[in-house]
């Protein structure tokens, strides 16, 4: 029923492969009160148990295009798709407790006829979506042109040190190494709470939090300058890489 995802890095939460759809809905209001703008960077998950307050990233995810290294780190600011009680990532699942962990109810409904192919509201499920992506996450962060399978890591489940991407007007580039000369491999959205798995000294960069040569590894092959990550200190918060 499910599709295997890569193992999570040490310090991360679990990773599950699910189907992603584009949310759109520019001008509408999300479940946490955010008014959706063009090129917004956030995600929606089908349970209010993982909803971040507006302007925060208490609940954040790493979402990567399946089979690639293209990823975005983004806060959870809306509830959906399809269901609102489907915390399929949880060990103590709120709804649909007859389903395996990691399998969204919409996926089970559309592919295996769970609940006779209907969601919790009795609607016929027409796609297996387990996550919605705001337009900026969909197009700019992941480079998608159509709905697709993605690997989602539920970062609040991890035990690594964390930092918050400081609001600076745009998402931060995620690089494959500790410098701007390394390839861009995705984005980290404003307010996203990201793991700091280890740290490395590299290129000196100036950003909203100062000038530093400290870089944080926030995922496999994913680095962000500490000049954009609010950790409460300008010093390393994790061991050297």
**pLDDT number for residue 232:** 92
For residue 141, which phi and psi values (nearest 5 degrees)?
A: -70, -50
**pLDDT number for residue 19:** 98
pLDDT over 80 at 4, yes or no: no
150 pairs with which residues across the strands? 18, 65
If phi over 0 gives left and psi between -120 and 50 gives alpha, with beta otherwise, what is residue 162?
A: beta
Separation of alpha carbons 236 and 1, rounded Å:
42
Is the dihedral angle over the CA atoms 188, 193, 198, 202 positive or is it negative?
Answer: positive
Render pLDDT for 120-168 as a digit per residue (tens, 0 to 9): 999 999 999 999 999 999 999 999 999 999 999 999 999 999 999 999 8
Neighbouring CB atoms inside 10 A of 55's CB total 13
**pLDDT number for residue 40:** 98
CATH number for the domain formed by residue range(s) 161-230: 2.30.30.40
CA separation (Å) from 27 to 23, 78, 79, 126, 134?
12, 14, 16, 25, 12
Domain ranges of the chain: 15-157, 161-230
pLDDT over 50 at 20, yes or no: yes
**pLDDT number for residue 6:** 54
Render pLDDT for 67-118 as a digit per residue (tens, 0 to 9): 999 999 999 999 999 999 999 999 999 999 999 999 999 999 999 999 999 9
Separation of alpha carbons 116 and 230, rounded Å:
47
pLDDT over 70 at 47, yes or no: yes
> CA-based angle 69:23:94, to the nearest 5?
85
**Token pair in block for residue 88:** 């399929």
Average pLDDT rounded to a whole number, residues 14-36: 97
Q: Is 33 helix (H, G, I), strand (E, B) or coil?
A: coil
Neighbouring CB atoms inside 10 A of 106's CB total 30
CATH number for the domain formed by residue range(s) 15-157: 2.40.40.10
Q: Is the pTM of this model over 0.75?
A: yes
């Amino acid at each position: 029923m499910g599709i295997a995802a890569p193992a999570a890095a040490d310090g991360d939460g679990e990773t599950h492969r699910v189907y992603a759809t584009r949310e759109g809905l520019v001008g509408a209001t999300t479940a946490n009160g955010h008014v959706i703008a063009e090129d917004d960077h956030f995600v929606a998950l089908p349970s209010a148990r993982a909803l971040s307050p507006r302007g925060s990233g208490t609940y954040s995810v790493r979402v990567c295009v399946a089979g690639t290294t293209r990823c975005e780190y983004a806060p959870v600011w809306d509830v959906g798709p399809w269901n609102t009680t489907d915390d399929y990532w949880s060990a103590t699942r709120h709804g649909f407790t007859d389903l395996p962990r990691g399998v969204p109810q919409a996926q089970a409904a559309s592919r295996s006829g769970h609940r006779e192919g209907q969601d919790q509201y009795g609607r016929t499920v027409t796609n297996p979506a387990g996550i919605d992506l705001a337009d900026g996450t969909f197009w700019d962060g992941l480079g998608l042109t159509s709905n697709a399978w993605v690997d989602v890591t539920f970062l609040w489940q991890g035990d690594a040190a964390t930092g918050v991407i400081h609001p600076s007007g745009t998402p931060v580039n995620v690089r494959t190494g500790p410098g701007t000369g390394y390839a861009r491999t995705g984005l980290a959205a404003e307010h996203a709470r990201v793991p700091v798995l280890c740290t490395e000294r590299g290129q000196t960069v100036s950003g909203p939090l100062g000038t530093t040569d400290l870089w944080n590894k926030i995922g496999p092959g994913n680095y962000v300058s500490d000049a954009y990550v609010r950790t409460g200190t300008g010093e390393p918060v994790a061991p050297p890489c």
